[in-house]
Amino acid sequence: MPDRELHCDTCEGVQPFEAPPCVDGHDADCPELICTRCGSAVLVATFTFRAARLTDRRRPVQRRAA
């Protein structure tokens, strides 16, 4: 993964981040990034969600005056 510029909370500014040597086998796609200035670690995670199922919505029954 090439270097990225992200906001570092410790440095309080935009800094270059790089991926450390990954022991989990992610190689270049490692989700961990380290600030090259202070060494703070950031975990970049992607989430996938299933599409919500729409329930069978029926029109409410309208009442009529007697």
| CA distances in angstroms from 1 to 34, 51, 64, listed in the order given | 12, 30, 66
* Count of other CB atoms within 10 angstroms of residue 15: 17
User: Would you state the pLDDT for residue 58?
Assistant: 63
Please determine, for residue 52, whether its predicted confidence score (pLDDT) is greater than 90: no
Mean pLDDT of the residues in the chain: 79
Please determine, for residue 2, whether its predicted confidence score (pLDDT) is greater than 70: no
Please state, in angstroms and rounded to a whole number, the distance separating the CA atoms of residues 59 and 66.
Answer: 21
Model pTM score:
0.57
Please determine, for residue 48, whether its predicted confidence score (pLDDT) is greater than 80: no
**Greater pLDDT, 46 or 14:** 14
